[in-house]
Structures are given as structure tokens and as C-alpha cells.
């Protein structure tokens, strides 16, 4: 009897893609690797989850919001927005991905983009840093849960870059450092000297795909040049 080889087109999901962003670099890298990359509509909110196709093999979440409110300016709405997008939304998205893809015959990779500030301190960023610290701990714990309930099927990883060069968010942060924190342009440029680039992060994504030894691990990506 003649055997037929059925080719499965690789599919990956990446959250909102903006020109010059980390998500754009990751999307480009995945396409280079032969993936068909799915992205949500512009008005999509991570807290809504996503209807993943059953044959999706990779999910990359780069969604995140910041707020530099002063200590007396935080209220429920402000704090909840940061935490619900950066942490709760990541949990919802992971759950939707697992529900859609459990039982398919390949290792699925879940990647959440966090922040180096999940384990460092920064002024005017307490809730943001806390939300990213929560995301890192969620990844670590979910690695155990996925291995228990779906052994060998999933790898969940947190990638936590520090300052990233050239992204739309970086431009906003640089502006706020000058207007709200009193930094000079020279100080800001020094702060970002040797910073990791979106392309660097995309290269890391390529290296961790399907790596089951990294299930539940958080990888920290500080500024590159060390002296």
C-alpha cells in the first residue's frame, strides 16, 4: 500500500505587531523559519483571549502596558489596567492556547515577553515591575502544571529583556525620562548604550522553540556589552 506524507503547514501566533517593535522582529523571524504567522486585529485586547486554530504550534505574547504614576496617583482603574494586561491577560491567552491545541502530535511553545524589571527596581514603575514579576512566577508555576496535565506537549518560557533599542515603547520611555525624570539626552543615550535589539530577541525566540528542557524557565536578557 502506497504511503503518503501529509505536510502540516506550521502556524504561529504573535500579539499586536507594530513597525519597529519586538513583535515585528519575532514575526519576521518566524516567517523566515517557515511559519504562517497569525496576528490579531488592531482593536484586539489580550484580556479577551483568542480563538486559536487547533494546529497552531507557537504562541508569542508581547503585550504589555506601563504607567509611571506617582505613589499617590494609583487607583483601582490604573493598577488594574497594568496588572490585567500584563499578567491576567497572559494567563487567559495561555489557557485559550492550551484548550485549542492539547492533544496535537508536536511540542507546542508558549513564550511570554516580560521585563528585566521583574527582578529589578525602578522609580515610578512599582505596579509595572510587580506585574512582570507576577508574570515570571506564573511562567515558572505553569511549567509544572502543563507538565502534570499535558506531559511532553508544551514548553512555556518567559523572556525578560532590559532596555531595548529602537522600539516605539523605547521612544516613549526616553521622552518620559527627559520630561518627567529630569534626565538629559546624553544620560538617556548612555542608559541605552549597548541595549539589546528586537532582532536579538527574535534570535533568542528561534533558539528556544520546542526546547522542553526550558519548560517553566525565565530567561533574562540584560544590556549586551559587559565590561
Cβ neighbours of 113 (radius 10 Å): 25
Beta bridge partner(s), residue 60: 14, 111
Alpha carbon of residue 181 to chain centroid: 27
pLDDT (tens, 9 = 90+) of the chain, 227 residues, equals: 444 344 467 999 999 888 888 999 999 999 999 999 999 998 999 999 999 999 999 999 999 988 888 899 999 999 999 999 999 999 999 999 999 999 999 999 999 999 998 888 776 689 999 999 999 999 999 999 999 999 999 999 999 998 887 676 766 777 777 777 777 888 777 777 777 889 999 999 999 999 999 999 999 998 654 43
Q: What is the pTM of this model?
A: 0.88
Question: Could you give the CA distance from residue 37 to residue 171 in angstroms, rounded to a whole number?
Answer: 26
For residue 5 the three cell numbers come to 506524507
Q: Quick one: pLDDT at residue 222?
A: 80
Measured CA to CA, the distance from residue 208 to residue 91 in angstroms comes to 20
Helix or strand holding residue 161 (H, E): strand 154-161
Task: Specify whether the CB–CB gap between 198 and 166 falls below 8 A.
Answer: yes
pLDDT tens digits, residue range 133-165? 999 999 999 999 999 999 999 999 999 998 887
Amino acid at each position: 500500500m502506497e504511503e503518503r506524507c501529509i505536510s502540516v503547514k506550521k502556524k504561529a501566533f504573535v500579539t499586536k505587531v507594530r513597525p519597529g517593535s519586538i513583535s515585528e522582529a519575532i514575526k519576521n523571524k518566524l516567517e523566515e523559519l517557515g511559519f504562517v504567522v497569525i496576528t490579531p486585529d488592531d482593536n484586539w485586547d489580550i484580556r479577551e483571549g483568542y480563538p486559536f486554530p487547533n494546529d497552531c504550534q507557537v504562541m508569542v505574547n508581547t503585550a504589555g502596558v506601563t504607567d509611571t504614576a506617582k505613589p499617590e496617583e494609583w487607583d483601582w482603574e490604573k493598577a488594574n489596567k497594568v496588572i490585567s494586561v500584563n499578567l491576567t491577560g497572559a494567563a487567559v491567552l495561555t489557557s485559550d492556547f492550551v484548550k485549542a491545541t492539547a492533544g496535537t502530535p508536536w511540542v507546542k511553545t508558549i513564550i511570554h515577553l516580560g521585563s528585566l524589571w521583574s527582578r529589578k527596581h525602578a522609580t515610578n514603575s512599582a505596579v509595572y515591575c510587580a506585574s512582570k514579576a507576577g508574570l515570571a512566577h506564573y511562567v515558572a508555576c505553569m511549567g509544572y502544571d502543563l507538565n502534570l496535565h499535558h506531559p511532553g506537549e508544551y514548553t512555556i518560557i518567559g523572556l525578560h529583556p532590559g532596555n531595548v533599542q529602537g522600539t516605539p515603547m523605547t521612544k516613549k520611555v526616553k521622552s518620559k525620562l527627559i520630561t518627567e525624570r529630569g534626565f538629559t539626552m546624553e544620560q538617556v543615550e548612555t542608559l541605552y548604550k549597548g541595549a539589546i535589539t528586537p532582532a536579538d530577541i527574535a534570535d533568542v525566540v528561534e533558539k528556544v522553540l520546542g526546547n522542553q528542557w526550558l519548560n517553566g524557565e525565565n530567561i533574562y536578557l540584560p544590556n549586551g556589552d559587559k565590561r
